[in-house]
Amino acid sequence: MKRKLVVGIDVGKERYAVSLFDGERFRDFSIPSSPEELLRRITPYLPGKMRSVLFVMEATGVYHLKLALLLKERGYPVSVVNPFVVKKYAEMLQKKAKTDPVDARILARFGFFASPPPFVPKDEKAYLLEEIQKTIEDYQKRRTEILNHLETLKHHPFPQPKVRQYHEQELQRVEETLQALEREAEDLALQYPPREYELLLSIPGVGKRLACAILGILSPLTRFARSKELASFLGLTPR
């Protein structure tokens, strides 16, 4: 449906840069990062029918999530778009300046003319699974750092047994934490019907860790009716 107003929001940790666009002109302002404050400020400008407005924001780690979920709960249409897609759209418009107000305008314009797909919230276990996967990545990096230190100590001209012992103890703790996280991730993945986890594992080259990551990022998989929708969500195609 054609929107009467699109609200582009550049979500930051401390502030929201907001741009209201009706197809002809922009109305811009900046507020503290508060969903309630945002609604209070823009309510006078909203059209009568709730479905006539669209809120558009980029996926920005966890900062956008609280806002997107609150707007969705209040019944507002929301679209959370891939930053790569918005970047390419800005390049097409020849917008090279990178500031929060400019980004908010680009998001508003993109929402008005491109009609991005609606935001579909994931269930709670999917968000937990995604966070577990991020934590696993952090611990994997830490394990690599420790192994590199241990390798360096092997070639040190002076023996460092005490330092080596500290690294080995830390490595053991990291390995134990990784194992616990991977068990937790698999337990969550096994809760997905109908056999989504097992089906992913049946794909050549997809192991337990990748299958859990896919579920955490893409769940629910049923929201993608076609492969093109999945490719667009991942930023592999512009539409």
> In the beta sheet, which residues pair with residue 146?
none
State the pLDDT at residue 159: 84
Radius of gyration over every alpha carbon of the chain, rounded to an integer in angstroms: 22
Query: How many other β-carbons are positioned within 10 Å of the β-carbon of residue 114?
Result: 17
* Residue 4 to residue 20: CA distance in whole angstroms: 10
Within the chain, how many helices (H) and strands (E) appear?
9, 5
State the pLDDT at residue 215: 80
Tell me the DSSP string of 89-152: HHHHTT-----HHHHHHHHHHHHHHH-PPPP-PPPHHHHHHHHHHHHHHHHHHHHHHHHHHHHH
State the pLDDT at residue 194: 52
pLDDT tens, position by position, 87-98: 889 888 877 667
Whole-prediction pTM: 0.76
Low-confidence ranges of the chain (pLDDT < 50): none
3-state helix, strand, coil in the chain (%, to 5): 55, 15, 30
State the pLDDT at residue 97: 65
For the chain, which domains are there? Answer: 5-114 (3.30.420.40), 124-219 (no CATH)
State the pLDDT at residue 145: 97
